[in-house]
Amino acid sequence: QGKFTLLRDTRTDGSFLVHHFLSFYLRAGCKVCFVALLQSFSHYSIVAQKLGVSLAAAKERGQLVFLEGLKSCLDLLFGEEEQPGQPSPLQFLSGGSCDLRALFDFVRVSLSATAGDSWKGPVLLVDDLSVLLSLGAAPVAVLDFIHYCRVCVCCQLKGNVVVLVHSNEDSEDEENELVVNSLCHHSDLILWAEGLATGFCKDVHGQIKIIKRLSLRQAEQDLVQVYQYKIQDRNVTFFARGLSAAVL
């Protein structure tokens, strides 16, 4: 409880980590607010079904609050309100405000405990934060949003925050790299998925670096573990470097 986990991917697609955490927290009985900026609800629902979780059922029973970013953007751009009288969480797109206060309010209200709630702990899941920068949000606004979410969800509600960001060390996108580096400094745990430097391999899809930030609270060195992985239809296989089926 109270942890901020950063999912970072470089030269590969780290969305398999998002699907894992979404199904994991729903099965654990947690209240989940999923800010999905990258894909549609049907996409996440199909993958979740393969993992044995029904997103539609979770929404109906109030366990999952799903923000479909693609639909919200279209509604704003074409002047349609999702619910009349209520501001869109992505209100900054309309030019009225440059901050992400409306998005934070959506998260806060979604995860605040209500009478009769029996869910274990609140969880905020964001896929993916880099999209906010592409939509025109300033890096400072994005970092402020995450800061307030950490204070609200991790500190006040004793829940967890899981955020995916794309990064490329050779990229000229300075704003994105600024956000990624800032988030790395504040994370309790970093799961960094990277593509293989040698290129594509059918038996090894990439490597994942697990960084436990011990230095965040103690005067110790961070613990770093590196594994390689292969994504299968319903799960992911992890193994030590050089111990894939292709080698053995």
In degrees rounded to 5, what are phi and psi of residue 236?
A: -125, 130
CA distances 167 to 20, 43, 161, Å, are 20, 23, 19
N-terminal to C-terminal alpha carbon distance within the chain: 39
Three-state DSSP string of 36-64: ECCCCHHHHHHHHHHCCCCHHHHHHCCCE
pLDDT at 83: 56
> How far apart, in Å, are the Cα atoms of 197 and each of 92, 101, 200, 204?
38, 40, 9, 12
Instruction: Read off the pLDDT of each residue in 217-242 and give the average, rounded to a whole number.
Output: 87
Upper half-sphere CA count for residue 34 (Cβ side, 13 Å): 27
What digits encode the pLDDT tens for the residues 4-36? Answer: 999 999 999 999 999 999 999 999 999 999 999
Most confident of 55-69, 171-185, 212-226: 55-69
Kindly report, residue by residue over 155-180, the tens digit of the pLDDT.
999 999 999 999 987 777 899 999 99
Tell which residue, 141, 18, 136, has the closest CA to residue 76.
136
Dihedral sign for Cα 75, 180, 7, 161, please.
Answer: negative
Structure tokens at 121: 């702990």
* Nearest residue to 70 (alpha-carbon basis) of 43, 48, 50, 52: 43
| pLDDT tens digits, 66-96 | 999 988 888 887 766 555 556 789 888 877 6
Indicate the pTM of the whole model: 0.91
Beta bridge partners of residue 65, listed in sequence order: 33
Q: Hey, what domains does the chain have and what are their CATH numbers?
A: 3-78+91-206 (3.40.50.300)
Confidence class for position 248, pLDDT limits 50, 70, 90:
low
Q: Is the peptide bond before 128 cis (omega within 30 degrees of 0)?
A: yes
